Amino acid sequence: MGCVEALNYEIVLRDASFKECREYIKSHFPESIDVEPGFKIFDVHTIGVPPISVGLDGDFVIFPYTKPCHGTFLLRVEDAQEAARLRALKKAGR
């Protein structure tokens, strides 16, 4: 798996549950896409209880990142190309 440390991320939530992350994305961001566990965002395979919500806000992608000892973080990363890819998948009815 790619290392999340390579991304220039901002932590939106820390030590959250998967449910809290899903609810936060649905209530705080104008767009979102639901993906299945294992779906690759940037170079990271997402971990979580399906459906996993990923937020889109302009060029920002907001997604959950889970580590065994630290729970789930909600990360916000600016990347126009990845945001466009996710929007295209959403439009295609993924």
- Rounded to whole angstroms, the Cα distance separating 21 from 26 reads 9
Q: Which of the residues 37 through 56 are near other proteins (CB under 8 A)?
A: 37-38, 40, 45-50
Looking at the Cβ atoms of 20 and 31, the one nearer to other proteins is 20
Looking at the Cβ atoms of 49 and 80, the one nearer to other proteins is 49
Q: Which stretch binds other proteins (CB under 8 A): 5-13, 33-41, 55-63, 76-84?
A: 33-41
Q: How many positions of this chain bind other proteins (CB under 8 A)?
A: 20
Summarize as ranges the residues that interact with other proteins (CB under 8 A): 1, 17-18, 36-38, 40, 45-50, 66-72
